[in-house]
Amino acid sequence: MRGTTAERRSFIRVPFKSEVRVETGGTLIRADGALDISMNGIRVPYAGPVRERARCQVTIVLQPPPVEVTIRAAGRIIRSEAGSLAVELTELDPDSYNHLRRLILNNAREPDQAEQEFESHWGIRRQQ
């Protein structure tokens, strides 16, 4: 039997408000904020149809233009429930990884726990 969702998670999740764009299969999903975000996943409000397991591109706008700062990631839609869409982040460039890491640390209730999680992982994957 598999553990609970919280037991299977590798990273803590934090609430976060900023523009999020998810592009998949020619569809652009825009949200005014994430329900929560972690180092390897994001959940956004969305009620439309979407194909689970579909590959996608995620853009999180940290600072809008003219000097736009974003987190960009490749991902995979892992769940679509009533009112929300969950995406597993599968690839981040180094700048996006560092922005996301700082975002998590700045919004975590327990930054020390978040730091320990970072140390037990190689990037966004658990060390073997």
Three-class SS state of 39: coil
Between 21 and 81, name the one with better pLDDT.
21
Which domain CATH number covers 110?
Answer: 2.40.10.220
- Residue type for position 104: I
59 Cβ partners below 8 Å, 6+ apart?
20, 21, 23, 70, 71, 72
Which pLDDT tens digit goes with each residue over 67-92?
999 999 999 999 998 899 999 999 99
Structure letter (DSSP) for residue 82: T
Mean pLDDT for 56-77 is 95
Please give the structure tokens belonging to residue 14: 């934090």
Mean pLDDT for 16-44 is 93
The number of domains in the chain is 1
**CA–CA dist 43, 87 (Å, integer):** 6
Query: How many angstroms separate the Cα of 52 from the Cα of each of 11, 59, 69, 84, 86?
Result: 22, 19, 28, 12, 9
**Quick one: pLDDT at residue 104?**
87
- The model's pTM is 0.82
- Residue type for position 16: F
Residue 122: give the domain boundaries.
Answer: 5-126
Structure letter (DSSP) for residue 10: S
Question: In 1-128, which ranges are continuous DSSP H helix?
Answer: 5-8, 94-107, 111-119
Model confidence band, residue 6 (pLDDT cutoffs 50, 70, 90): very low
